[in-house]
Amino acid sequence: MTSTDLPPRDVRMKGFAQRALVADVLDWVRDVTGCLAPERVPIHELPGRVLSEAAIAPIDVPSFDRSAMDGYALIASATEGASLYNPLSFAIAGQALPGSGFPGTVNGQTAVRIMTGAPIPAGADCVLPAEHATENDGRVEITLAIPLGKHIGRAAEDVASGQRVLPEGRLLRPQDVGLLASLGLPEFPVIRRPRVRLVVTGNELVAPGHERDADQIFESNSLMLAALVSRDGGLLEARAPVPPVRDDEDAIREVLARPGCDLILVSGGSSVGSEDYAPTVVAELGELLFHGVAIRPSSPTGIGLIGDTLVFLLPGNPVSCLCAYDMFAGEAVRRLGGRPSVWPYRETRGVLEERITSAIGRVDYCRVAVRGETQSRISPLALSGASILSSTTRADGFVLVPAELEGHAAGTEITVWLYDASAASSNFEAP
């Protein structure tokens, strides 16, 4: 669908003449969102970032042979025959500590006291654990023969110089950062995180912690969106909660026209009411590609461009806002930052206990409870009520009814995307 296929830009108090298909919207989002340019960041900022190129080791790790035990460095052949009934005695020539090796050479009559991680002294080719030795008057008596190479960690056994240790596109976990730190480089190139501006509109909104009138409500969507954006690797322009923008065309124009971000999320003012100015302003400042999508909830969603900045107009009702982010905006944030575009939700399968009704041509995003970890039973929590945010906290996850179906019948085995990473265990009963 192109912009010329859409209804007039200003649809306030007129309603949507038609709604774009979810598949068409997703195709467009995927076409216009590629990875942002790379940047080099300090190693302590790497967790959760995406490598823009493969990490190649410039050194061996470890770069020297080292002891894997606290004990004594010896020549293996000199320990032959040692036992409890035939202890062998060696002169202690010195000590090797981590970061401070022994400067001399071990021979067949000497041993070096050595700690875990210390470099193996020249001449030594094994390490005897301390529990098999006894020191006395500058000598050590051993009661165990040790094979060649025993208890020695070899140079490059972890990483070899020139080895590709992590691939391009890797979403860095804590252990990945630890491995990169062992290479000794202070920074690495990663995909730049998308800068995201949160805009919430509505005269009825008051930031939490402020006084409100009897006909006002506390603003919550910016906090929910901020958490979602952070989860998906975006960089928030300002910390939530953000000050609500009043329902005023000039005020909305000013905040949308301001440069400095890659993506703008507007919560509220996206539908066809007399005070819904955001779609008109986006069309004026840039291009409104979609306004009205065949999905329940979230049908008033709009998507456009202002210059190179993506703008997502998300409904103000909290459930619709969450759904629109999950379906469209979240994928854009992840793709811009180089992350996998798929949902960061774990999937499970279960049998539907009650029918979910939909309509051909429309996608339904339905909140559900999941009961039981084997042969799970799936129950819809709410099929309407886009303002009931608590339905998402009672929900273990959501199911989708695709556009080609009229619903899911009771008894159907379906896929659930779980909000939590851990196994679902709702304590609430479906209303």
* pLDDT tens-digit map of 378-419: 999 865 555 566 777 788 999 999 999 999 999 999 999 999
- Could you tell me the domains of the chain? 3-37+192-336 (3.40.980.10), 39-61+157-191 (3.90.105.10), 66-153 (2.170.190.11), 346-418 (2.40.340.10)
CA of residue 346 relative to chain centroid, distance: 13
For the chain, give the percent of residues with pLDDT over 90: 81
CB-based contact 261:237 (threshold 8 Å): yes
Span 308-328, mean pLDDT? 95
Span 294-300, mean pLDDT? 93
What pLDDT shows up at residue 385? 55
- Give the containing element (helix H, strand E) for 231: helix 221-231
Residue 57 has pLDDT above 70, yes or no: yes
Q: Which residue has the tokens 């009704």?
A: 357
What pLDDT shows up at residue 14? 46
pLDDT higher at 389 or 145? 145
Give per-residue burial for 261-298: e unless 16+ CB within 10 Å, then b.
bbbbbbbbbbbbeebbbbbbbbbbbbebbbbbbbbbbb
- Across 246-250, 356-360, 377-381, 419-423, least confident range: 419-423
Cα–Cα distances in Å, from 67 out to 62, 129, 154, 207, 388? 11, 10, 9, 59, 62
Alpha carbon distance 63, 310 (integer Å): 48
* Sequence-separated (6 or more) residues with CB below 8 Å from residue 256: 199, 264, 266, 278, 281, 282, 285, 306, 311
What pLDDT shows up at residue 430? 29
What's the mean pLDDT when you consider all of the chain? 90
Residue 4 has pLDDT above 50, yes or no: no
CA 224, 397, 311: angle at the middle one, nearest 5?
40
Residue 26 has pLDDT above 80, yes or no: yes
**First-last CA distance in the chain:** 38
In this predicted model, what pLDDT tens digit does every residue of 235-292 receive, in sequence order? 999 999 999 999 999 999 999 999 999 999 999 888 766 678 999 999 999 999 999 9
Residue 3 has pLDDT above 70, yes or no: no
3-state DSSP: the chain helix, strand, coil percent, rounded to 5? 20, 30, 50
Closest CA to 110 of 80, 138, 147: 138
What pLDDT shows up at residue 215? 86
Span 82-89, mean pLDDT? 97
- What are the contacts of 224-231 at 24+ separation with CB within 8 A? 224/318, 224/321, 224/322, 224/389, 225/198, 225/265, 225/267, 225/314, 225/321, 225/325, 226/198, 228/322, 228/325, 228/330, 229/196, 229/198, 229/265, 229/333, 231/344
Span 191-195, mean pLDDT? 98
Span 368-382, mean pLDDT? 84
| Residue 138 structure tokens | 């500058």
Alpha carbon distance 293, 328 (integer Å): 11
Pairing of strands 363-371, 397-401: antiparallel
Span 49-73, mean pLDDT? 97
- The Cβ of residue 71 has, within 10 Å, a number of other Cβ atoms equal to 25
What pLDDT shows up at residue 276? 83
Q: Which residues of 272-338 form beta strands (DSSP E)?
A: 287-291, 295-296, 302-306, 309-314
Span 196-208, mean pLDDT? 92
Span 154-175, mean pLDDT? 97
| Residue 237 structure tokens | 């322009």
What pLDDT shows up at residue 15? 52
Residue 424 has pLDDT above 60, yes or no: no
Closest CA to 43 of 170, 161, 189, 168: 189
What pLDDT shows up at residue 129? 98
